[in-house]
Structure 1
Amino acid sequence: MIPPGDGWDVIDGGESDTSVYRRGSVIAKCCAADGVSALEGERDRTAWLAGTGTPSATVVDWVESDDGACLLTSVVPGVAGIDLPSWGWLGAMETLGRTLREFHALRDCPFERPLASVVASAQDVVRRGAVNPEFLTDEWRAVSPESLLEQVVAESPYVESAAEPAVCHGDLCLPNVFFDPLTLRVTGFIDVGRLGIADRYSDLALTTIQLYDEWSVDPGPFLTAYGLTEPDRRRLEFYRLLDPLTWG
């Protein structure tokens, strides 16, 4: 499906099965009929998050037909974290740490993302042979996805017992966080289709590995600003491994 009207420019669509367009100050994310349910979930999460006062996109419109659906949202101002110049990385890590702490402290979230359901998604992706090797480290590519999944399943009881539930973004990578390029404050979060109550380490793990991989920096300033000086390394490693197994 394509968005209604003319003048839309195609932009990159990330990892989900959607097409993304921009026209002026509006973003349109569109899917085929089999993706409507997931896009509806993102629509509802986007609306909820905007209603909390958290900097984020807002829902502009929803268009649905037999061919699929389009979610129209406002453009978040600023620059995506992945595009920030190196001089701003330290300040951005500090503001992101403080902002994420506030994000995790949100209340009355109607959405949940229990660990069991995430592991089940990984099991489905592995069963279908759909794991994208580009999302894996060299070390992980040296073994089979089935072996990686076995590690996840074996470690799940510990992670479940240590979990600290919070409102989590669910895909907190640098392209999904925008910053003011001058003040380095967070101007908004996008792509919240996985938002829900989950262990806060599911966000922390993905963000810290992104800072290391994309910016080649020590994520310590981010964790310190968040208020976590002695992180649970075991949970960080668990979620770093689990996430790439859930896309496919």
Structure 2
Amino acid sequence: MELPGGGWELVKAGESATSVHRRGAVFAKTCGPDGVAELLAERDRAEWLASTSVPGARVLDWIESAEGAALLTSAVPGVTAGDLPWSEKLVASLARAVRAVHELPVESCPFERRLVDVVAQAEDVVRRGAVNPDFLTDDARLVAPEELLARVRAALPAVQAAQELVVCHGDACLPNFLFDPDTLEWTGTIDVGRLGVADRYSDLALVKAQLEDEWSVDAAAFFAAYGVVEPDAERLAFHLLLDALTWG
């Protein structure tokens, strides 16, 4: 998808056949024809989130043609958590940010990420042989994707019975939360293409994994600041595995 005008600089090639460019204070995420539906879903979620108390990117334009689509959004001030050094203050700010998303009124959110739909997405990825090993833990890489999926299916009834539905980010990784590098106050949330009503543990599992993998720190301080005294280890493991099987 060709962007209008000039001066665009490539920021990164995305996880799902998208590319991100920047020109000044504007970001442009582009995709080919096959990615239009997914990018449109992100546009709609970003527009909805901008109507809430959660800070994030504003949708500036949507361009669609036979070549694909482009989503133009405003830059969010600050630095991603993934580009900042670990500190107790930053972990506490991250916990408040995740909690703020989760405290949005569920009844006002028009988007859902039902467990049965996410599992169906994982089934499709496994069936196509498209599981990305980069998203799996070291132990999971030693197991056939079909066996991993069987574990998800076996645990699904118990997780469904225990789920707590809130508005979830859907991809609650460190690069998707930005902070003021001086005060470490939360400045915004980006990449909300998977946002929707879901079990809060679908976000908490990803944050925990990121804290351990990227910062090599125990997630106990995060959970304490978030407000979960005794996190459910089984639900954390379930959602981490399920998420890993959906990227493909």
| Aligned match of 1:153 | 153
| Aligned match of 2:91 | 93
| Aligned match of 1:205 | 205
- The residue type paired with residue 96 of structure 2 is R
Counterparts of 2:130 and 2:227, CA distance in 1? 37
- The residue type paired with residue 231 of structure 1 is P
| Aligned match of 1:49 | 49
RMSD over aligned Cα atoms: 0.9
TM-score (norm 1): 0.97
Per-residue deviation at 1:101? Answer: 1.4
Counterparts of 1:190 and 1:13, CA distance in 2? 16
Per-residue deviation at 1:53? Answer: 2.3
Which contiguous aligned blocks of 4+ residues in structure 1 show a shift greater than 4 angstroms?
none
- The residue type paired with residue 19 of structure 2 is S
Q: How does 1:1-248 map to 2 (within 5 A)?
A: 1-86=1-86, 89-107=87-105, 108-248=108-248
Per-residue deviation at 1:50? Answer: 1.1
Counterparts of 1:49 and 1:224, CA distance in 2? 26
SS at 1:182's partner residue?
coil
Per-residue deviation at 1:242? Answer: 0.7
Counterparts of 1:246 and 1:61, CA distance in 2? 28
TM-score (norm 2): 0.97
Aligned residues: 246
Counterparts of 1:225 and 1:16, CA distance in 2? 32
SS at 1:187's partner residue?
strand
Per-residue deviation at 1:64? Answer: 0.9
Counterparts of 1:53 and 1:73, CA distance in 2? 18
Gaps of 5+ in 1: none
Gaps of 5+ in 2: none
- The residue type paired with residue 33 of structure 1 is P
The C-alpha deviation readout for 1:141-164, integer Å capped at 9, x for no partner, is 111011000000100000001000
